[in-house]
Amino acid sequence: MQIQVSTNSSVDGSEGLTSEIESTVSNTLSRFVDQITRVEVHLADENADKSGGGDKRCTMEARVAGQQPVAVSHNADSLEEAYAGAADKLSNLLTSKLGKLDRRKGNQPMGGPGAS
């Protein structure tokens, strides 16, 4: 799974931040590693120099093999909360979407037989 990180001009896209994001996304989406070809992460500070809460936004788009891309967005007070929240939302969306595809194909739900 390839992870691409980009930022707007108001966010310092340092190597350290990129590494933290890649680690968070990899860990959160690890169970989908065989199905996701690429995840694009975009960070933005919507208010830049102005004060105010919830102005950090992370948008994540996952490219799933053989499917249309899916995207989520999460706003928070910090960049860390924004990308962690977006990763969680993306995991939930993929669980739902890929679980429905498995059921249509007659496969067991994620987690196997007797999963609750």
Evaluate whether 58 touches 79 at the Cβ level (below 8 Å).
Answer: yes
The arithmetic mean of pLDDT across residues 80-101, rounded, is 91
pTM of the predicted protein model: 0.81
How many whole angstroms separate alpha carbon 110 and alpha carbon 115? 8
Sheet strand arrangement including 70-76: 2-7, 36-45, 56-64, 70-76
Q: Express each pLDDT in 13-69 by its tens digit.
A: 899 999 999 999 999 999 999 999 999 999 999 876 666 677 899 999 999 988 899
In terms of phi and psi (left: phi > 0; alpha: psi -120 to 50; beta: otherwise), the region of 74 is beta
Report the SS3 class of residue 60.
Answer: strand
**Structure confidence at residue 107 (pLDDT):** 57
Q: Which domains does the chain have, with CATH numbers?
A: 2-97 (3.30.160.100)
When pLDDT is cut at 50, 70 and 90, the band that residue 116 belongs to is: very low
